[in-house]
Amino acid sequence: MDVVVWRAPGPASSAEAAARYAELRSSPLGAFEPSVAAFVRELRQTSPDPSSPLSWNDALTVATDAVIVHVVWPGQQRVLDLVSLLAARHGLVCYEPARQVAMS
């Protein structure tokens, strides 16, 4: 399951979020946008699942101004809640493609 986080001027509709997700999946990796960098720093200071050998480094795909978080832990809802909370804290859009839900 993926969750996508990026900076946008305002809330995104589910259709806009789906289009941005498709664009990000096909774009090359690049440098961080400042608010995305702050999101990633704070996310990496948490533990997605202390009992798992996987870390955030294994679960993040970072583009120029966005992050795709690959939620690979059993406690998916807890991880989704954390990602959504941190995205909101940093003024970022959060999109869950599986349910086609944009959270801002």
pLDDT digits (tens, 9 = 90+) for 44-96: 888 777 777 777 777 888 777 888 888 876 778 888 888 999 999 999 988 88
Q: Kindly report, residue by residue over 21-32, the tens digit of the pLDDT.
A: 777 666 655 556
Q: What is the 3-state secondary structure (H, E, C) of the chain?
A: CEEEEEECCCCCCHHHHHHHHHHHHCCCCCCCCHHHHHHHHHHHCCCCCCCCCCCHHHHEEECCCEEEEECCCCCHHHHHHHHHHHHHHCCEEEEECCCCEEEC
